[in-house]
Structure 1
């Protein structure tokens, strides 16, 4: 799935939103960006003058850090103009030229730029540009020696298993890339195996999105093998990959020993409570697990699963497992599980003549107004002042200002 929730390089948890704060160059200035609107008349032909204006004359601009040109019918000439502009502009950091159907010629131009890239560009979105295997070969050759790009979005293209082999070679060599979105392509078992082989040698990638592909159970097993040795990945999205209970069980072997992964999204797969149980028990068996979120949100579970999860969370209080719902749970108990947590905290604060803010500040020894999501979840579950369960903690986190993996009181 696509996240502007890419909005991870910092998920130390968390969604693509979340790890990008880590990869982005630090600056005290507010980020400025320029967004070009899509032309509304599809019948109107673009003139040479309009193509030339694609660069927006920002070669010497020092304030625009982000340029959004998604779905603007950019032509080959327009892409060439953009890349020439980037050779002159050392301030632009983020470029989005998704959904422009750039094809092979566009890929050649972008690859040539990446091979000579000395700009400040670190985030590049190339989603939906009809890139195929030949395009993948060109882009991967450039990225094998270009380490400036930290976040790369290649989702919604036409990459198949051959393209995955090119990507695998790039991943084995690249030491700069931290977030890679390959969702909605055409990878199947061979492609999944190739990508996992590349990941075995990669030591910098933190976020990987391969949702809506065809990894299957064999791909899940290969990724589980990667997790046994990988110490950099903190976020993986495997949604919609045809993974069954057998695949979940094989993937869980990696969770038993992995010490870095924090988020695993695996919903929209044919997994039931049996597969879900194998995943949470793997986390329980790993005392060094950093898992904070397991998303199986299309899977309905039983009260028996909930009891097992209670046992898992007793040793891993930072963990949140998102599932569809509890089957066969009495209505009265269901209502209790979802009682407004902020109301419970307010009642406690009133009874003890303190402010709600004082309550939250008491959760952290530093008394700061922010906490990482995982630490906040752990503190809320372990505190004894307010009777609150993990479902209520999840809702509380949603209500608080949660950005880049941090809860803001």
Structure 2
């Protein structure tokens, strides 16, 4: 969100509307309190509704949230709750005994930005889309999962986002967009230059929807993360995505889990990966892919000297020792790569105890022998000396360093122990002193 704005005095309209009779259950009564100025003049003990200090009220909200809340109240037909306006930025707000009702609650949910699982439907989509079209500088992220949005809602959002380039992250998962919505989304992505993360998982997009989406995605120059898992678009959708990966040089994260993609569809994606220079994460979990398809996939990375691929998830695919040997060769060329797969039992039994030696203990032993701290060791991996590194760079540095004997399985475990978040490994919390 942009700059904070001082809280404007509550208007006469709000105060007048409190005493207005409610004609039906459709217009729900929400308690409106005295003005901020009057509230400031009262002694603290006279406030019966909150213990929060309301001096310096400006800090309690940002422009976008207040305006969005007032717009939502107007469109769903409820009186704004001034207590909520004053305290909407607090981590805890007690709204007991405010007579919110379902519409009042819906208006507040919309203002809180993360409004997943609220069954907003078409009415909620209209409120949000009108706000996004009228105010292009307030919100940067929207989480709208599970709100019973259908193709009509998708059309509204896409119209708004065709002009609003401030939204960077949008979660529309677990809705009911279906194929037609894919057309609207594709048209929006073709011209939007702001959106960087889009979650469309669990949306019944199927084949036509994803193909239409891909038509717009080919020319998109801003989207980096796309989640299309659980949409059942099969090999035709995979082929369309393969064409996107040939042309698009901006996507870095693509989740295609559980989409009924077989080796045929994977072959289209694999051919595109021989040319792609941007994708870092590819998730193909729970697709009916065999080991032959998996081999084809990793060989496509081997053939691409400029591949940036760091993580591939095919963890339901059962592989043999032959696959592991091929993967070893690929990782020798691309040490930043890690592939999750399912090993056969015989292969698992062949792993030596060394393979599973605690990597932290190995590093600590080296640090003790050389009278340095473990933090010094990790800092030496980063040319900049900083205490955070992108996952791929960290994995590559660990594999290529020659101070501690460590393999890629141990590096994977090490990354988990260090708590990888948002694509970064952070070892700043390691405070061990020199021995």
Give the CA deviation at 1:327.
Answer: 4.4
Alignment of 1:273-312 (within 5 A): 273-312=291-330
Q: Look up the SS of the partner of 2:187 in the other structure.
A: helix
Cα-to-partner distance string for 1:269-305 (whole Å, 9 max, x where unaligned): 0012111111111111111111111111111211111
Query: Contact conserved, 1:303 with 1:327, CA < 8 A, in 2?
Result: no
- Relative CO higher for 1 or 2, CA cutoff 8 Å, sep ≥ 6? 1
Give the CA deviation at 1:56.
Answer: 6.6
Decide which of 196, 217, 227 is 2:245's aligned counterpart: 227
What CA distance in whole angstroms lies between the structure 1 residues aligned with 2:118 and 2:330? 47
For the pair shown, the structure with the greater C-alpha radius of gyration is 2
Tell me the residue number matched to 1:143: 161
What CA distance in whole angstroms lies between the structure 2 residues aligned with 1:175 and 1:292? 26
Alignment of 1:345-364 (within 5 A): 345-364=363-382
Give the CA deviation at 1:333.
Answer: 2.1
**CA RMSD, 1 decimal:** 2.8
**How many correspondences in the alignment?**
356
Tell me the residue number matched to 2:281: 263
What CA distance in whole angstroms lies between the structure 2 residues aligned with 1:203 and 1:233? 9
What CA distance in whole angstroms lies between the structure 1 residues aligned with 2:142 and 2:126? 15
Decide which of 331, 335, 339 is 2:349's aligned counterpart: 331
Give the CA deviation at 1:325.
Answer: 2.4
What CA distance in whole angstroms lies between the structure 2 residues aligned with 1:143 and 1:172? 11
Query: Contact conserved, 2:266 with 2:297, CA < 8 A, in 1?
Result: yes
Give the CA deviation at 1:330.
Answer: 6.0
Alignment of 1:143-222 (within 5 A): 143-222=161-240
Tell me the residue number matched to 2:399: 381
Tell me the residue number matched to 1:13: none
1:344 aligns with 2:362: yes
Q: Normalization by structure 1: what TM-score? A: 0.80
What CA distance in whole angstroms lies between the structure 1 residues aligned with 2:85 and 2:348? 64
**Mean CA deviation greater in 375-384 or 330-339:** 330-339
**Alpha carbons of 1:54 and 1:237: their partners in 2 closer, same or farther (altered >3 Å)?**
farther
What CA distance in whole angstroms lies between the structure 2 residues aligned with 1:231 and 1:178? 13
Query: Contact conserved, 1:151 with 1:180, CA < 8 A, in 2?
Result: yes
What CA distance in whole angstroms lies between the structure 1 residues aligned with 2:367 and 2:169? 43
Q: Normalization by structure 2: what TM-score? A: 0.75
Gapped runs of 5+ residues in structure 2? 5-25, 32-72, 428-435
Q: Look up the SS of the partner of 1:337 in the other structure.
A: helix
Tell me the residue number matched to 2:332: 314
Give the CA deviation at 1:335.
Answer: 3.5
**Alpha carbons of 1:210 and 1:281: their partners in 2 closer, same or farther (altered >3 Å)?**
same
Cα-to-partner distance string for 1:162-184 (whole Å, 9 max, x where unaligned): 11111111111111111100001
Give the CA deviation at 1:364.
Answer: 2.1
Cα-to-partner distance string for 1:337-379 (whole Å, 9 max, x where unaligned): 2221111212222333332222222222333222211111001
Decide which of 142, 150, 156 is 1:132's aligned counterpart: 150
Relative to its length, the structure with more helix (as a share) is: 2
What CA distance in whole angstroms lies between the structure 2 residues aligned with 1:319 and 1:164? 32
Gapped runs of 5+ residues in structure 1? 1-23, 28-44, 87-93
**Mean CA deviation greater in 357-366 or 287-296:** 357-366
**Alpha carbons of 1:247 and 1:54: their partners in 2 closer, same or farther (altered >3 Å)?**
farther
Q: Look up the SS of the partner of 2:318 in the other structure.
A: strand
What CA distance in whole angstroms lies between the structure 2 residues aligned with 1:26 and 1:258? 39
**Alpha carbons of 1:81 and 1:294: their partners in 2 closer, same or farther (altered >3 Å)?**
closer
Query: Contact conserved, 1:162 with 1:191, CA < 8 A, in 2?
Result: yes
Tell me the residue number matched to 2:39: none
Q: Look up the SS of the partner of 1:49 in the other structure.
A: coil
